[in-house]
Amino acid sequence: MLCIAFTFASALFENGLLLHIVFGSIAGGLLTFRLFWGFIGPTHAKFVNFNFSLSDLFYYLTNLFKDRKIYAGHNPAASWATVLLIIFGFFCTISGVLLMGSEEDRGLFSFIPVSYHEIFFQIHVISKNIVGVVALIHIVGAFLEHFWHKTKIINTMIDGYKNLDIPDIKTTFFQKAFGTFAIIVSIFMGVFTLVFPNYSLMSKNTHEVFYHEDNPAFAKQCSECHNLYPPILLPKASWEVVLSDPTEHFRENLSEKVPDFESIKEYIFAHSAESATNEISRKILQSTNGQNIYRITRTGYWKETHAQIPRNAYKHPKIKTKSNCSACHENFGMSNYINDEDITLKYFSFSEALKIYLHLNK
């Protein structure tokens, strides 16, 4: 319960991703074990002994304030709440792990292309909304039971006893061992993630491909006149425009300098933003949104990330044009990897760009 609350809370903070994953993985681990517990646990923890009858649920909800019956196991509302929380909590965890892979290029599933991000994101949001709503109803229900029905249910969650005169149920040694194991493993997963983020679900996986090794013709011929633009920086539709006519490439004729045009074109199409696994490509795809944008510098994403650079900075003799990415970004165009966290700027920080701007305006 605490882990789910912390997972929700950490999602509200821009830089709370690590804690979100730490608490999310503890919660996910415990939920997974709870699933098994529903088959091998003691009598009232077993799903077969839950009450899923809809007419009982209806009766329970409509007679909440009249009938104060104490149930030995889960009452009908708690039965439904428990399975819904387990199922959708589980969905949250799985979609979260897949999101880490598709959106952030991290963890086991970092090979998943960014184009799958949207579906995982929707699953994540829908399941977390269901978990949130069911959990709130369940908490209100627990208070109602505890104080109005006088079942002392909140004490029961801790000591296991209810206000009922029925024989005790004993947990077996195996069940105790399993429970202890489940708690230790889940907490260990969370602590491990916190202490070693780079060895866990958080580990960054770049799948770096060096173009001069992967496709020497592309690396050489497409960098004859400008820096090499990694295919992952534009959607396929945009590349189709850029490469539609080799004799009309931004008023240049490519036929001489790019003899392997056809095979390079196929290579670029196959490696466009849709096929990439990194966050930058996803943001570029989102910001172009199917429009026919044929320049990286015209994508909403590029404009946003470069909004703070004064226009005059591009007039600097070492830069000349916005499209001269390698003037500012170290190792630009070498590979499909653009370090989005720690871009090494050759000459620039925002403050330096500002200095150049002031200099140009003297």
- Residues forming contacts to ligand HEC in the complex (CB under 6 A) are 221-222, 224-226, 229, 233, 242, 249-250, 252, 254, 257-258, 264, 268, 280, 295-297, 305-306, 309, 313, 319, 321-325, 327-329, 338, 340, 343, 345, 348
Q: How far apart are CA 94 and CA 100, in angstroms?
A: 10
Nearest to 217 by CA among 172, 262, 272, 283: 262
110 vs 221, beta carbon nearer ligand HEC: 221
CB of 108 to ligand HEC, least distance (A): 23
CB of 214 to ligand HEC, least distance (A): 14
CB of 209 to ligand HEC, least distance (A): 16
CB of 281 to ligand HEC, least distance (A): 9
104 vs 145, beta carbon nearer ligand HEC: 104
Largest CA distance in the chain: 92
56 vs 260, beta carbon nearer ligand HEC: 260
67 vs 340, beta carbon nearer ligand HEC: 340
6 vs 239, beta carbon nearer ligand HEC: 239
306, 236 Cβ separation under 8 angstroms: no
CB of 233 to ligand HEC, least distance (A): 5
CB of 5 to ligand HEC, least distance (A): 31
- What's at 22, amino acid-wise? V
Q: Look up residue 55 and give its two tokens.
A: 């007419």
Q: How far apart are CA 281 and CA 301, in angstroms?
A: 9
Q: Which long-range contacts (CB under 8 A, 24 or more apart) does 218-227 make?
A: 218/260, 218/264, 218/267, 218/268, 221/257, 221/258, 221/259, 221/260, 221/264, 222/258, 222/264, 223/333, 224/257, 224/258, 225/252, 225/257, 226/323, 226/324, 227/323, 227/324, 227/325, 227/326, 227/332, 227/333
Nearest to 114 by CA among 288, 283, 282, 289: 282
Nearest to 164 by CA among 65, 270, 75: 75
CB of 274 to ligand HEC, least distance (A): 16
178 vs 357, beta carbon nearer ligand HEC: 357
Q: How far apart are CA 249 and CA 268, in angstroms?
A: 15
CA angle, residues 313, 328, 271, in degrees to nearest 5: 125
CB of 285 to ligand HEC, least distance (A): 13
CB of 119 to ligand HEC, least distance (A): 23
114 vs 123, beta carbon nearer ligand HEC: 114
Nearest to 272 by CA among 289, 254, 260, 284: 284
- What's at 91, amino acid-wise? F
221 vs 288, beta carbon nearer ligand HEC: 221
79 vs 287, beta carbon nearer ligand HEC: 287
Q: Look up residue 273 and give its two tokens.
A: 């933003």
150, 164 Cβ separation under 8 angstroms: no
